[in-house]
Each structure stands twice: as structure tokens, then as C-alpha cells.
Amino acid sequence: MTSNDLQVRYHAVCQAIETACRAAQRPIDSVRLLAVSKTKPAEDIARLADLGVREFGENYLQEALDKQAELRDRDLIWHFIGHIQSNKTREIAQNFDWVHTVDRRKIVQRLNDARAHCATPLNVLIQVNVDDAPTKSGVAPTDLTGLVEEVMDSPHLQLRGLMSIPDPVSEEALIASHQLLASLLATLKHRFPQAMLDTLSMGMTQDLAPAIAAGSTCVRIGTALFGQRTPRSER
């Protein structure tokens, strides 16, 4: 993709975020843009970085590590947003600033142990299965508190909030899912006032506006920025 194409897309996304914030009567700077750069080349990330984007989300560990190496001279913030395999927790913990997809105790323990020798704690979001979908990752809302306590008891992890990937069944269902996640975070803030619970990672290209209306503080945008992706198996 050319630099001009990325610039046009980036400004359109910024405008969409601003419009959604105004409609929800929220400050424009209350929502962060996370550019989902999975399957996209390091060159595109560099071009967006030149436009002011600092936060990038990756799903595939080795691909992300290759890009990080290529862009090591850039002051970027890297988020891991893919499913976490146990045998990859060490590299994830040591090479990312944020992890959005923590969903079980074993992963919490392994990330914490692997982060022990890093200078700063790893920022963690717990992924919640807001739709109770059997094919989706994420902790059930009824089991959320126990996992929160596990993260908070981990000295090398910093719990920052919640994340969800709801099923795009209908606009009404998406709104309900986003409202549920926001409600869960509000409950946690009340129960754990000492925690730094400041992040709701929800909303993608197709549901940016309802997510912001429900309280999202971090929207994960890929398609609107980079265009449609080629499936990894076809790359």
C-alpha cells in the first residue's frame, strides 16, 4: 500500500473515532487507536508510525518478532492480541508491552515468570467470552473475578482492564456485548479500587461506533487502515 493510501485511510479512521466520541459525548482523547498490523509488512507499520501511530497489535508471534527486529529503531508500543499458546508465553512476555488475550491461570503464571527479569511489568488485559460462545477464547464472566485476583497477585504483571471479541451477529447483539464488558469492568473497579483498571479493548472496524458509545478506550482497527487481508495460508 502506498504512503498516500495509508494516510487517507488513517485520517478517515481518526475522523470516525472523533465522530463516535462526539456522538457519545466523550473526549476525543479518551479512545486510543491500536493499529492491527497482522499479516502486513513492516513498511506499512513504518509509514503509519511516520503519521504518528505508535501502538500496533499482532496476532502471530514469529511474524511480530521479525517486524520488531526490523523496526527496532522506532519508538513503538507492541500489543499481542492473538490466542496465547503456553509454549510461547516466554517470548510474548519478553517482547511485548501489552497482552490482550489472557484467559486462564496457567497463562497468567507463565507470563509472570517469564517477565521477571524485565524492567517493567507486562500490561495485561483479560479476554472475556461475552457471548458464551463455545468456539471463542476468553474467560466466562462468572469466572472473571478469580482470574483478576490471579493477575493482581502476580508481581510482574499489571492488570489494566478487559478485552472482548464479540460475535458480529447483529448490531443489537454487539451493543449488548459491549455493554456487558463495560459493566464487568465497572464492577471490578468497585471491588478492586486499588487496581489500575483503565482499559476496555473492544471495537474493530465494523463496530467502532457502538464500542465507543459503550465505553471502549482502545479500538483495534485493521481493515479500515490496511485494507482486506490475505489469509495466512495463502501468503
Report domain extents, the chain.
3-227
Instruction: Let me know if 180 is exposed, middle or buried by CB neighbors in 10 A (0-12, 13-18, 19+).
Output: middle
pTM for the full model? 0.95
Cα(34)–Cα(32) distance, rounded to whole angstroms?
A: 6
Taking only the tens of pLDDT, the chain with its 235 residues reads 788 999 999 999 999 999 999 999 999 999 999 999 999 999 999 999 999 999 999 999 999 999 999 999 999 999 999 999 999 999 999 999 999 999 999 999 999 999 999 999 999 999 999 987 777 889 999 999 999 999 999 999 999 999 999 887 778 888 999 999 999 999 999 999 999 999 999 999 999 999 999 999 999 999 999 987 766 543 3
Class of domain 3-227: alpha beta
* CB atoms closer than 10 angstroms to residue 87: 8
In the chain, the amino acid numbered 196 is M
Cα(21)–Cα(29) distance, rounded to whole angstroms?
A: 9
Cα(117)–Cα(217) distance, rounded to whole angstroms?
A: 29
C-alpha cell at 200: 476496555
**H-helix segments, 155-200:** 171-191
Cα(36)–Cα(60) distance, rounded to whole angstroms?
A: 11
